[in-house]
Amino acid sequence: MYYVGIDLGGTSIKAGLVDEGGRILQKATCPTKVERGAKPVVDDMARLSLKVIEMGGVSLDKVKAVGIGLPGILDPRTGHVPFCTNLFWHDVPVIEWMRETIDKPIFIENDATVAGLAESVAGVSAGVKNSVFLTLGTGVGGGIVLGGRIYSGSHGVGSELGHMITVAGGEQCTCGNRGCWERYSSATALIRMGTEAAKKNPKSLIMTSVKGDTAEITARTVIDAAKAGDPDALKVFDEYVYNICVGLVGIINFIDPEMIVLGGGVSLAGDFLLNAVRAKLPEMVFYKTMPFATVELATLGNDAGIIGAAMLGRD
């Protein structure tokens, strides 16, 4: 059987025809154009689904299901997507609308959960029973796989790992609380910390590499400066790695996964980040002489969204 996976983002809709093993056979994409509202976006998702099926030369009865990963959640009470902040969606009946065009089971999950599932089917955590996937991006998202299956909790409101509070009373978060983990471990946090350091010492490589324009500082600016050995950037990076480990320790001491997978933009820092996290973590976990989760980098990159969404319909 075949599966369609859709990765719905704020910029583009990506669809793929995927086989049982999580391999993408065909891909198609179109711009999201959020401003047109939800219905045309959902119609485009259905249209792209049919398109990739046709491109693959597969008959419709060989397609088991369509899965959608989106930056929001599904309310199991209504079958609607109640929140999708980036898309300005509120209470959208995605499944109903999809099925106006394509008569297949439709599955919906949060994008980070979907990416975690992809890694656990066809990526670094393939075959791992219990894993936690993290997207270190603008925010921090999480995907939990327990017993080889997506774990989405009792009400579908879990795996929002970026909103564990790690610094009570700390930085204001968009969610209303102070001190959420993502305020300290996201790309946004790294940029904030790097910018502060650059302003304190304009001679730092962070500042000189953007020619004094702090608005140009990205996560990569800070990481590249740290890689080059700039003392200010290294200090920021060390603190950032500690911030990441603070949350990882919570994850380990809580559900003790076999593997934690780092994905999202910041994970492109590669071994430089991975080795630093791996070096810091052992001194911070509770049982210091017992084995605990290995930390790995995500391997599927941008394809994770399509693959994971497709795999929603497999199990």
Tokens 């969204």, residue located: 305
Work out the burial of residue 174: count CB atoms within 10 Å of its CB; fewer than 13 is exposed, 13-18 middle, 19 or more buried: exposed
All residues at 6 or more sequence positions from 249 whose CB lies less than 8 Å from its CB, including other chains: 281, 284, 285, 286
Pairing between β-strand 106-110 and β-strand 63-70 as defined by DSSP bridges: parallel
- Per-residue x/- mask for a second copy, residues 248 to 267, rule CB under 8 A? -xxxxxxxxxx---------
- Per-residue x/- mask for a second copy, residues 154 to 193, rule CB under 8 A? xxxxxxxx-xxxxxxxx----xxx-x----x---------
The one-letter code for the residue type at 81 is V
Determine which helix (DSSP H) or strand (DSSP E) holds 296, and give its type and residue range: strand 294-297
Whole-angstrom Cα distance, residue 120 to residue 109? 15
Reduced to 3 states, what is the DSSP secondary structure of residue 137?
coil
Residue 173 Cβ, how far from a second copy at the closest point, in Å? 9
Whole-angstrom Cα distance, residue 205 to residue 194? 10
**Interface with a second copy, residue 285, by CB under 8 A:** yes
Residue 260 Cβ, how far from a second copy at the closest point, in Å? 11
For residues 2 and 181, which CB has a smaller minimum distance to a second copy in the complex? 181
The region of 40-48, 119-127, 148-156, 197-205 touching a second copy under the rule CB under 8 A is 148-156
What's the N-to-C CA distance of the chain in angstroms?
12
Determine contact, residues 108/125, Cβ cutoff 8 Å. no
**Beta pairing partners, 73:** 83
**Interface with a second copy, residue 133, by CB under 8 A:** no
What is the sign, positive or negative, of the torsion defined by CA atoms of 35, 41, 44, 49? Answer: positive
Residue 192 Cβ, how far from a second copy at the closest point, in Å? 16
Whole-angstrom Cα distance, residue 116 to residue 123? 9
For residues 66 and 281, which CB has a smaller minimum distance to a second copy in the complex? 281
* Positions 194 through 233 that interact with a second copy (CB under 8 A): none
Task: Give the total of residues touching a second copy (CB under 8 A).
Answer: 60
**Interface with a second copy, residue 93, by CB under 8 A:** no
207 φ, ψ (degrees, to nearest 5): -70, -45
* Positions 21 through 80 that interact with a second copy (CB under 8 A): 73, 75, 77
The one-letter code for the residue type at 37 is G
**Interface with a second copy, residue 7, by CB under 8 A:** no
**Interface with a second copy, residue 127, by CB under 8 A:** no
Residue 140 Cβ, how far from a second copy at the closest point, in Å? 11
Residue 238 Cβ, how far from a second copy at the closest point, in Å? 14
Whole-angstrom Cα distance, residue 93 to residue 75? 10
**Interface with a second copy, residue 284, by CB under 8 A:** yes
**Interface with a second copy, residue 292, by CB under 8 A:** yes
Residue 144 Cβ, how far from a second copy at the closest point, in Å? 7
Residues in the chain, overall count = 315
The region of 4-12, 30-38, 103-111, 287-295 touching a second copy under the rule CB under 8 A is 287-295
For residues 143 and 313, which CB has a smaller minimum distance to a second copy in the complex? 143
Cα 187–chain centre separation: 12
* Footprint of a second copy (CB under 8 A): 73, 75, 77, 82-83, 129-130, 142, 144, 146-147, 151-161, 163-170, 175-177, 179, 184, 242-243, 246-247, 249-258, 283-293
